[in-house]
Structure 1
Amino acid sequence: MSLPSLWRLSPLAAALLISSQAHALELPPQVVTGNPLGSEQLASPTTVLEGDDLTLQQKGSLGETLNKQPGVSSSYFGPGASRPIIRGQDGDRIRILRNGVGALDASSLSYDHAVPLDPINVDRIEIVRGPAALLYGGSAIGGVVNTFDNRIPTEAIEGIHGAGELRYGGADTTRSSAGKLEAGNGTFALHLDANAREFNDLKIPGYARSRHAPATEDGPGKNGRLGNSDGRQDGGAVGGSYTWEDGYAGLSYSNYDSNYGSPAEQDVRIRMQQDHYAFASEIRNLQGPFTSVKLDAGYTDYEHREIEGGETGTTFKNKGYEARVEARHQPIGPFDGVVGAQVTRNEFSALGEEAFVPQTDTNAGALFILEEMQATERLKLSLGARVEHTTVDPDAKGNERFANANKSNHFTAGSLSSGAVYSLTPIWSLAATLGYTERAPTFYELYANGAHVATGTYELGDANLKKEKAVSSDLALRFDNGTHKGSFGVFYSRFSNYIGLLGTGRTLNDEGEEDAGGIPEYGYSGVRARFAGFEAQDHWKLGEGAYGKFALELSGDYTRATNLDTGEALPRIAPLRLSSGLLWELDRWQARIDVEHAAGQGRVPDNESGTDGYTTLGASAGYRFNVGGSQWLAFVNGENLTNQTVRYASSILRDIAPAPGRSVQFGVRTTF
């Protein structure tokens, strides 16, 4: 679906997110992703983004929305596509969920493939950093990003509620509108939402190409603009559920449609469409061995066309389903836990002369268990295990390029995890995790072979790849004395077989032959690797007086990733980042000033370029008011106000696609 005008809200809805009315100085509640037992504290490092924080940090892509969170960077491919990277790990190691279930797309296949989700439709985002493969599979070996949208209402709704939002501005001159409407009689609940977003070529400081970028016939390109970075996104959903005192059951349908340019190739556009059907149900307060049972399932039909010079070069299609059931058992001695099962199937095809992966069917089934026990008054322990079997079945369809895709691959992956939270004092606590995780290679890591036009690279898989294996641990000191609330933690992961997309140093033509004037070759290969680093954050309440409430937020993160086979750094790792934010609130007003510093990234493989450091300044302000029975928030958000040239070390396009320059965006949100 599409909207012809910015200022025309969809007839499906009068409103966007029914968001939290939490004030700017209040902290979000504890994350629930990764632990269906509802524990107040998780051993894994977690983050929640919702309410006003989500509104002010929201961008057009999921990766850019989360880019300032501890341990999270962005794969940034211009304003049209960006996927979150957690602790230097990206692609199929980061599981992106929708209400706890994966929605199939092609975003992990390549950096130019957007996640088919507009954050404007999301009520809450939860991030679990570190291995979360126990509940969500090997593709969560690096972490989980779970988005919640209430398209299937899980609680009874009385009457009619809604929300709406308009935005204008930013470095890409975004024009967006969105709305949501929910209605119910206490038993039946209905949800409707719709959104539209348009954006122009991105404004940047100076020229797009850095001094490291290879010369082109077009020269340095446009001054002050990132060419071919404009686009649009449209979407909407309808859902409903039947609720009762001890549970709910419901269905939803959602649609996403986008068209955006690839800054890597000035004449390449990407047209993406997705239809998603979901079912969810939970029954609580059961008698017998299980106290509750929860079922989630989704079916996705996804299509993605790469259009070069007006002609479709490659069409990607992905159809499939995912279903999972979790059953919480009665306490057994000191243990409280859940058992569960998950099945997944996806049918992927790439059609056209420029297809660089073969048609592939992937089937997976898994069983898992998670147990908690209160070992002592101060110590809580968690233990779990998962076993998952995956079959990857390719079909070359007679294409000689995929001669290596001639047989099925079968993998059985196992994962074990343990965690502990120990209360040292009422203020201080220690949290630790230790886990062993295995991940089956994906079809594109096994069978890719060809030029990928949208990214300007030649990608080559390895059909003989083995399972990815890692031992990971976290240790964090947490504190909360009413004035300070935060943590300092360190993490360490060692891979005995890390499957990386690594530059080979060769340049090839479209036929895979060496050519000095060709495109760079990147190959999927298994190496020994190590990831280590730290994350720290503190929310400091400075005080409250006649001039309002003041607080200071401080955070920092750093990841060091090494290819142990060569001693070189692994590619696309974000550098040391330090951030501070001064928050203020008085009556209906709220504001903040942010400063972020990123160090230069000179620790890169020999065949890749580094990035310079930068310091950016941001500021935002909001004013709340009521009109009749509706609540309103008017806001303005400024970013990179000193117009610094920012190149993300985590982006494969860092030398030709800088991040946005100075920008100011205005918006208004209402709930009723």
Structure 2
Amino acid sequence: MSLSPLWRLTPLAAALLIGSQAHALELQPQVITGNPLGSQQLASPTTVLEGDDLTLQQKGSLGETLNKQPGVSSSYFGPGASRPIIRGQDGDRIRILRNGVGALDASSLSYDHAVPLDPVNVERIEIVRGPAALLYGGSAIGGVVNTFDNRIPTEAIEGIHGAGELRYGGADTTRSSAGKLEAGNGTFALHLDASAREFNDLKIPGYARSRHAPQSENGPGKNGRLGNSDGRQDGGAVGGSYTWDDGYAGLSYSNSDSNYGSPAEQDVRIRMQQEHYAFASEIRNLQGPFTSVKLDAGYTDYEHREIEGGETGTTFKNKGYEARIEARHQPMGPFDGIVGAQVSRSEFSALGEEAFVPQTDTNAGALFILEEMQASERLKLSLGARLEHTTVDPDGKGNERFAKANSSSSFTAGSLSSGAVYTLTPIWSLAATLGYTERAPTFYELYANGAHVATGTYEAGDAKLSKEKAVASDLALRFDNGTHKGSFGVFYSHFSNYIGLLNSGRTLNDEGEEDADGIPEYTYSGVRARFVGFEAQDHWKLSEGAYGKFALELSGDYTRATNLDTGEALPRIAPLRLNSGLLWELDRWQARIDVEHAAGQGRVPRNESGTDGYTTLGASAGYRFNLGGSQWLAFVNGENLTNQTVRYASSILRDIAPAPGRSVQVGLRTTF
């Protein structure tokens, strides 16, 4: 996180600084996401994860990697798939970006659909909590997760550099390897990377099914293992760019391939493949009305097959592109800002007898503007607006199940935002945001109708849904006195129309008829809703002496989400969570001990079960050393060392798929 010192630099940078005077420096990583103007402070709450911190917290999925960050929980569908949830908001409200551009997968469609990205290939992750829809569209109404991999180098590279990593262990006995190579002559730069990961069925305390879960016809399952949770992930990329003093331009190609089981259905496996092509360029120091122009574009070809008993039941395909351009204008009086445009197209299809969504083409175009002004020596303001038009065009292909998907729908969504950062003293500052955002409903929220085998649910959309609308605000007190650095913030979001995936209380058969022995029905419904909560964090430097540097990290978060139409809680909301970590560093050694406490979640809607509280213990240690011209980090990471039963309230599988039990993983990473 941005609260951290040296050991959270990139691995290459950290290795180069070993033993130097810079070892004691505090560096301030600049947040790129939502910050095209390069401001030192953003009004929106943000988190940066990189370097050794990212290495030690890395898991096989993006959601699990970020699960302990303030305000972020996991949709957890076993070790094969999980997506980040921010402040209780999930699915198409959280925009997952790759180098600032959306990668068109199907992870927002369903919890069993993995994000086709292995965090081992990522150099940096930025999280913007709260509405970021201004720059990235209505699907960022809850926040943004942006990953950076340098597959298109943005800066000149001299010579040959690289990195490699090996891991073994964990509750799923992960065996993973990854490598990266970058080379350049100061003008042309080349990037290559590849990774492979295999994992077994997850080790868990006791049986997978909780006391709330219905009894399975196959019995309680295997004691100590989560059945059908094994899998593999492979990926790689090649990219290159031409760089000059005032900019760069480049291309990249990446491929991701995975095969993993669905813990919800013991004979269902998921095979996912994605190819992604990207182009990026930026030109700086221009003369005229604009000082710089930045262009990003990506094309994705995605396929996801759900295989039941060895036979493919449903094939999901998604082809499309996204492109955005940002132009920074010359200062106009007190205003400094950018104007931009974004276009995207998605061609989605679901093939097979068990398809529960129709073929749909979605087109969107948007214009946006963001302005900043230094109102006074202490006060900086930001203002912005976005206008976006979306057309959703379904084709039921004569399938009676999608009879309502017979005409296109179009939506025009507008967003307004404002932010302020006020410096109270050299130590204290206040940050506040206020925004109004709109989001067009997605094709699956409008037209889904059918049993989804991989999740064991029947999903039903509503073709009459209107735009999602929300007013949201943040207020945070930030501090940095050299010993303590952190913040305490509260947030509030009010939705006049919130599209939730809600349990109807009915059980249906595959034909959509009520059946006591059927599967639970979940409907996409528009309701009024309210999200409120807080986030707090502090990095406390305890001491520095002959026995090393000691620091304490404290954090906590809480979200309370309410369906205002019924007065009930909204589903899948993480409970109060408190984290503490004791950090130590001496010369080439580093270590930490972590304790996480999550309260029980008893505030749930009808027809849904709560979760018990838990307290887990974790520990990690690392040792840096040099070998020839390369720098190395050897590490060991232990989690849930007391082997507690952990069930995430944010997971739809909480009653049949607990989180990992006791685990120890070892790894070795090198940079050169």
TM-score by length of 2: 0.97
Question: Residue 132 of structure 1 contacts residue 140 of structure 1 at CA under 8 Å; is this kept in 2?
Answer: yes
Per the alignment, do residues 18 and 448 of structure 1 end up closer, same or farther by CA in structure 2, a change over 3 Å counting? farther
Distance 1:390 1:627, change over 3 A: same
Q: CA deviation at 1:6?
A: 31
3-state SS of paired residue (2:318) = strand
Residue 44 of structure 1 contacts residue 432 of structure 1 at CA under 8 Å; is this kept in 2? yes
Per the alignment, do residues 184 and 301 of structure 1 end up closer, same or farther by CA in structure 2, a change over 3 Å counting?
same
- Please tell me whether residue 602 in structure 1 is matched to residue 606 in structure 2: no
Q: Using the alignment, how far apart are the partners of 2:159 and 2:513 within structure 1?
A: 65
C-alpha separation in 1, matches of 2:185 and 2:269? 45
Displacement of 1:32 in angstroms is 1.8
User: What do the CA deviations read for 1:491-548 (whole angstroms, capped 9, x no partner)?
Assistant: 0000000000000000000000000000000000100000000000000000101100
8 Å contact kept, 1:581–1:593: yes
Cα separation, 1, equivalents of 2:268 and 2:308: 4
Q: Is the 8 A contact 1:33 1:128 kept in 2?
A: yes
1:30 Cα deviation from its structure 2 partner? 3.4
Q: Does 1:152 align with 2:155?
A: no
Contact 1:348 1:360 in 2 (8 A): yes
Counting only pairs closer than 5 Å after superposition, residues 19-168 of structure 1 correspond to structure 2 as: 29-168=29-168
In 1, the alpha carbon distance for the partners of 2:504 and 2:231 equals 33
Q: TM-score, normalised by structure 1?
A: 0.97
CA offset digits 1:290-321 (Å, max 9, x no partner): 00000000000000000000000000000000
Within 2, Cα distance between the matches of 1:566 and 1:220?
35
Note the residue ranges of structure 2 that are not aligned, 5 or more in a row: none
CA contact (8 A) 2:371 2:384 kept: yes
Shift of 1:219: 1.4
Distance in 2, Cα, partners of 1:27 & 1:67 = 24
Q: Secondary structure at the match of 1:22?
A: helix
Which whole-Å deviations, capped at 9, do the CAs of 1:459-496 have from their partners, x for residues lacking one? 00000000000000000000000000000000000000
Asked whether the 8 Å contact 2:4–2:539 carries over to 1, the reply is: no
Q: Output the CA distance in 2 between the equivalents of 1:125 and 1:5.
A: 17
Q: Quick one: distance in 2 between partners of 1:15 and 1:262?
A: 40
Change (3 A) 1:602 1:8: closer
The answer on whether the counterparts of 2:5 and 2:27 sit within 8 Å (CA) in structure 1 is no
Off by >2 Å, runs of 4+ in structure 1: 1-28
Contact 1:17 1:122 in 2 (8 A): no
- C-alpha deviation, 1:23, in angstroms: 6.9
Instruction: Indicate the residue corresponding to 2:473 in structure 1.
Output: 473
**Inter-CA distance 398–4: structure 2 relative to 1 (3 Å threshold):** farther
Tell me, in whole angstroms, the C-alpha distance in 1 between the residues paired with 2:21 and 2:218: 50
Judging changes above 3 Å, is the alpha-carbon distance between structure 1 residues 425 and 292 closer, same or farther for their aligned structure 2 residues?
same
How far does residue 646 in structure 1 lie from its aligned partner after superposition?
Answer: 0.1
Q: How far apart, CA to CA, are the structure 1 residues paired with 2:451 and 2:319?
A: 24
The 1:300/1:617 distance shift into structure 2, 3 A limit, reads same
Change (3 A) 1:447 1:12: farther
Deviation of the 1:29 alpha carbon? 1.5
CA offsets 1:30-58 (integer angstroms, 9 cap, x no match): 32210100100000000000000000000
Alignment of 1:253-292 (within 5 A): 253-292=253-292
Task: Indicate conservation of the 8 Å contact 2:2/2:28, yes or no.
Answer: no
1:17 and 1:179 in contact (8 A); partners too: no
Distance 1:26 1:519 in 2: 54
Give, in angstroms, the shift of residue 15 of structure 1.
14
Q: Using a 3 Å threshold, how does the CA distance of structure 1 residues 355 and 8 change in structure 2: closer, same or farther? A: farther
Relative to 1, partners in 2 of residues 1:26 and 1:11: Cα closer, same or farther, differing over 3 Å? closer
C-alpha distance in 1, partners of 2:110/2:157? 40
Q: Please tell me the root mean square deviation across aligned C-alpha atoms, in Å.
A: 4.4
Structure 2 SS opposite 1:23: helix
Contact 1:597 1:613 in 2 (8 A): yes
| Cα pair 1:3 1:10 within 8 Å, conserved | no
1:12/1:50 CA distance change after superposition, 3 Å: closer
Q: Contact 2:17/2:23 (CA < 8 Å) preserved in 1?
A: no
- Contact 2:488 / 2:535 at 8 angstroms: preserved in 1? yes
1:541-595 alpha-carbon deviations (Å, 9 max, x no partner): 0010110000000000000000000000000000000000000000000000000
Deviation at 1:27, TM superposition (A): 6.5
Identity %: 93
Higher deviation after alignment, 234-243 or 2-11:
2-11
CA contact (8 A) 1:6 1:197 kept: no
Partners in 1 of 2:641 and 2:24 — Cα distance?
21
- Displacement of 1:25: 9.5
Cα 1:8–1:68, aligned 2, differ >3 Å: closer, same or farther? closer
- Secondary structure, aligned partner of 2:15: coil
Task: Figure out how many residues of one structure are paired with residues of the other and give that number.
Answer: 672
Query: Would you say the 8 A contact 1:209–1:656 is kept in 2?
Result: yes
Mapping for residues 351-370 of structure 1, pairs under 5 Å: 351-370=351-370
> Structure 2 CA distance, aligned partners of 1:284 and 1:531?
41
Structure 1 residues without counterparts, runs of 5 or longer? none
8 Å CA contact 2:5–2:26 kept in 1: the answer is: no
